[in-house]
Structure 1
Amino acid sequence: MGVVVWISVVSLAVWLWLLLGHGLFWRTDVRLPARSEPAVWPRVAVVVPARDEAGTLPESLPSLLAQDYPGEAEIVLVDDGSTDGTGALAGELARRHGGLPLTVTAPGEPPDGWTGKLWAVRHGTETARLRAPEFLLLTDADIAHAPDSLRSLVSAAVTGGFDAVSLMARLRVRGAWERLVVPAFVYFFAQLYPFRRIARPGARTAAAAGGCVLLRTAAAVEAGLPDAVRDAVIDDVALARAVKRRSPSARIWLGLADGVVSVRPYPRLRDLWRMVARSAYAQLRHSPPLLAGTVLGLWVVYLAPPLALAAGLAAGRPAAAVCGGAAWAVMAGSYVPMLRYHRQPSWAAVLLPFTAFLYTLMTVDSAVRHHRGVGAAWKGRTYGRPGALSFTRSRTAPDGRTDPPPREA
């Protein structure tokens, strides 16, 4: 029990530090900063990489076409080797809804060393740059925007002098598994990259949310984007780091969205599991020591408090019970704002240790998949370790499962 007491004390100390000394990561009031409309609205190109998105485009693309933007803007949708008629559907939606001009283009399969999404982004940005836009809005094909989304993003970037303004899209939370896993996904992301620190001038912390990134074209050119991050599986964070690395004085802002939402459903646990596992080990730079440290940290910080509370009560050791219970209470309290942001009941915060346990299993599974050669798999492509990146095709079953690619002899 002495060991349990010490672990519970360490866990409580960590949670007190996270609550007070880690950029107030748990707060959800980081929204688009104060802004005023520019006298002259800059030209903007919206680049949408899309691979097999016929199911989401009817909800997302019309919202882009209908943007209420006073300046010149256009949309470039890059059909990344789709087999479900994504490109043709995009053209039909543009004809039906009107609005911003739409160009549909296809780059062909990515060469070795490129992820499919970033190859599509490269092709889309090169197409857009022919019209010399001042800003590029990189947004995913499953993201729907409020009518004033582009206007607000540009106003914030111009007013604040930001090189990149990114919004963490509000993810869909409807089914039981989405309620359990999705708010924690954003919570853990904010814990890794506290939004307030990202916005500080000269800050070393850099991150973006790939579903919605407004980027100054000049900053992208200076940072060599997207070529500089062509092998990145977690492309949004890599993009922000590239901007900061090229120019430490560059200003980046990241916050939560109200009018930018994801329309992609994750109704089953295996859908969410695949979403997390495809990039979790890449986040750890494919390092076994980092994996071991992460698993240990998750156990001490998230799982130890309820276990210490139960063990202390069972063994009659009040120190373990009090410290474990206090750590669990601080943990749950820090999670409540994220649950409220996702319109979920506050009582669900007590389930965070169980959710963290699921994320631990997903992270370990991500490493196992990587070492089996099926790690970063997405829509029929499986990527290897960055720096030696090539992709192989996978077979997609009728139920949406992706089978491992055949091994070479």
Structure 2
Amino acid sequence: MSALTWIAAGSLAAWVWLLLGQGFFWRTDVRLPGAGGTAAGPEAVPAGKHGKHGKGGKGGKATVSGGEDSGWPPVAVVVPARDEAAVLPVSLPSLLAQEYPGRAEVFLVDDGSSDGTGELARELAADHGGLPLTVSSPGEPEPGWTGKLWAVRHGIALARDRTDARWLLLTDADIAHEPDSLRELVRAARAADLDLVSQMARLRVTTGWERLIVPAFVYFFAQLYPFRWVNRPGGRTAAAAGGCVLLRREAAERAGVPDSVRHAVIDDVAVARAVKRSGGAVWLGLADRVDSVRPYPRLGQLWRMVSRSAYAQLLHSPVLLLAAVAGLAVVYLAPPAALAAGLLTGHAPTAAAGGAAWALMAATYVPMLRYYRQTLWLAPLLPFTALLYLLMTVDSAVQHYRGRGAAWKGRTYAAPPRAGRAARRAAADSCPSARS
């Protein structure tokens, strides 16, 4: 029992540190800065700081539009979509109905869909009206590109050629926005002089498996990328949530986005990292009025969602995989095992350490369950959920070595070429999962 007691004590120490030293990741109060603004216009950005480059790119003459005169810059909304006919009737009308005081235009990029996504988008625009919609297709991705980023590249190019948009809203086809979503994003970005503002959309939680796995998905993401660390000026941690990213066009050009991250499977984090490394200010928080409408009713669907990118999160490193498995086992699985063993054998120190660690673990999960409006009885089940994520991560590595890693919607993406030692060290330094 002495070994298990030490493991339980180590787990308890880890939870004390996670509670206090990991950027208060468990709190859910990081929301859009200054939410609740009115249509009077965002706070003005100091002259000459960001508004000096127009459509012509760096060094070009600023383009002035009616939206710019009113304090609301023109925006291009880019929506990459591949086989999204099932969710588009809910998500696309919400974008077309945006109540934005400036000028905005939606570019839906049909990435080789086989279910009539593009035609459905045109029908929805004809039925609902609202913001102008352009539907286009970029063709198959060139070698070295993931499909989503290839579509985003095409959409940004269209926006650059056809509009004078100063901001880009990159949003997934399964994301529904409240009517004031775009206005509040732009207002917050301008008020705080940010280059990238991203909201973690509230995912659908309806079925039993969704209740068990989805809140934990966001909880683990926040643990890897504490929002307060992401939002800290000058900090190394960078992340975004790909479903809702408002990006200053000038910052995208300065960071070379999306070309500089064209091979990234976890594209949202890669984009945020590129923007932050180029000197941009990044903000990430939880959403109140942006929701994912994609259903994941069965365990297999949730499993594929997690496993397709879990090993990429570990930089395709067997060493980091072993470290992650060991860490999950000690931090999440050891506490209930120690409590049970201590109670069965009457060994009070083991039971006390395991029970205290389990209680701390459950307590840190409560705010996320409240955010998702779920019963708090799910909090003690977090070790079981963590076990599922452990198995998904291992399966992600297995599929990678079988040549089926990062498979999504009929495409499989190989790991990018290995970088040099210095580059890999820099990547690990900026990736919390590689340090844990």
Structure 1 length as normaliser, TM-score? 0.93
| Gap runs ≥5 in structure 2 | 43-69, 419-436
Equivalent residues, number: 386
Q: Which amino acid aligns with 2:213?
A: V
Residue 136 (structure 2) pairs with residue 105 (structure 1): yes
Does the residue aligned with 2:238 lie in a helix, a strand or coil? coil
1:20 corresponds in structure 2 to: 20
2:199 corresponds in structure 1 to: 167
Alignment partners' CA distance in 2, 1:125 and 1:85: 22
Alignment partners' CA distance in 1, 2:160 and 2:188: 22
Alignment partners' CA distance in 1, 2:364 and 2:392: 23
1:189 corresponds in structure 2 to: 221
Alignment partners' CA distance in 1, 2:226 and 2:390: 21
| Gap runs ≥5 in structure 1 | 389-409
1:304 deviates by: 0.2
Superposition pairs of residues 149-298 of structure 1, within 5 angstroms: 149-247=181-279, 250-298=280-328
2:372 corresponds in structure 1 to: 342
Does the residue aligned with 2:290 lie in a helix, a strand or coil? strand
Q: Which amino acid aligns with 2:346?
A: G
Check the 8 A contact 1:113/1:387 in 2, yes or no: no
Check the 8 A contact 1:198/1:207 in 2, yes or no: yes
2:72 corresponds in structure 1 to: 41
Check the 8 A contact 1:231/1:387 in 2, yes or no: no
> Which shifted more, 176-185 or 33-42?
33-42
Q: Which amino acid aligns with 1:117?
A: K
Alignment partners' CA distance in 2, 1:6 and 1:134: 56
Alignment partners' CA distance in 2, 1:135 and 1:3: 56
Alignment partners' CA distance in 2, 1:347 and 1:104: 45
Pairing partner for 1:312 from 342, 349, 369: 342
Does the residue aligned with 1:172 lie in a helix, a strand or coil? coil
Alignment partners' CA distance in 1, 2:263 and 2:325: 26
Pairing partner for 2:390 from 348, 360, 364: 360
In angstroms, what is the RMSD of aligned CA positions?
0.8
1:246 deviates by: 1.8
Question: Residue deviations 1:296-353, cap 9 Å, x none?
Answer: 0000000000000011111111001000000000000000000111110111100000
1:132 deviates by: 2.3
Question: Residue deviations 1:142-194, cap 9 Å, x none?
Answer: 00000000000000000000000000000000000000000000000000000
Identity score, percent: 71
Residue 160 (structure 2) pairs with residue 129 (structure 1): yes
Q: Kindly report structure 1 stretches of 4+ aligned residues shifted beyond 3 Å.
A: none
Does the residue aligned with 2:200 lie in a helix, a strand or coil? strand
Check the 8 A contact 1:278/1:377 in 2, yes or no: yes
Q: Which amino acid aligns with 2:359?
A: A
Alignment partners' CA distance in 2, 1:343 and 1:84: 34
Alignment partners' CA distance in 2, 1:258 and 1:241: 24
Does the residue aligned with 1:354 lie in a helix, a strand or coil? helix
Check the 8 A contact 1:79/1:87 in 2, yes or no: yes
Alignment partners' CA distance in 2, 1:246 and 1:34: 26
Q: Which amino acid aligns with 1:351?
A: L
Check the 8 A contact 1:168/1:256 in 2, yes or no: yes
Alignment partners' CA distance in 1, 2:134 and 2:417: 32
Question: Residue deviations 1:351-377, cap 9 Å, x none?
Answer: 000000000000000000000000110
Q: Which amino acid aligns with 1:17?
A: W
Pairing partner for 2:403 from 370, 373, 379: 373
1:8 corresponds in structure 2 to: 8
Alignment partners' CA distance in 1, 2:203 and 2:90: 14
Alignment partners' CA distance in 2, 1:318 and 1:132: 68
